[in-house]
Amino acid sequence: MNTIDVSSRRARAIFYSSGDWKRIRQDRLDLDNNECQWHKAEGKTLAAGMHDEHGNLVVLEVDHIKELADYPELALDIDNLRTLCKDCHNKRHKRFNYRPSKKKRKWDDEWW
């Protein structure tokens, strides 16, 4: 397997726009039933198409359990991925005060 370059913001953007990532990301979402795995662990269902406790439409993101920057060799390892809602993903990366991008993106994974 090729080593994936995630050493710069630009390199990560290229990774997150790759067909390989989009495929494995979708596979992970399917395996997780399009459901936030942290909410699930608390006995709550937060799935695509639902609204969260604030009335916002659920946004699901696919998280690298071992972080991409530290474990680039696991970038496309499906066992290293999990589905989280945007809120849980923000908590996981301790980004409470992040500013959402003005540009609409289909996915926000590349924030991380």
Rounded to the nearest 5 percent, the helix, strand and coil shares of the chain are 40, 10, 50
Question: If binding is defined by CB under 5 A, does position 81 make contact with Zn ion?
Answer: no
The reply on whether position 39 binds Zn ion by CB under 5 A is: yes
Q: Which residue has the tokens 């990301």?
A: 25
Taking the C-alpha atoms of residue 12 and residue 7, their distance in angstroms, rounded to an integer, is: 7
Q: Which of residues 88-107 bind Zn ion (CB under 5 A)?
A: 88
Rounded to the nearest angstrom, the gap between the alpha carbon of residue 45 and the centroid of all alpha carbons in its chain is 17
- Nearer Cβ to Zn ion (80/83): 83
Shortest spacing between CB 84 and Zn ion, in angstroms: 6
Residue placing its CB nearer to Zn ion in the complex, 75 or 85: 85
85 contributes a contact to Zn ion by CB under 5 A: yes
- For Zn ion, the binding residues in 40-79 under the rule CB under 5 A are none
Q: What's the CA gap between 93 and 82, in Å, rounded?
A: 14
Binding site for Zn ion (CB under 5 A): 36, 38-39, 85, 88
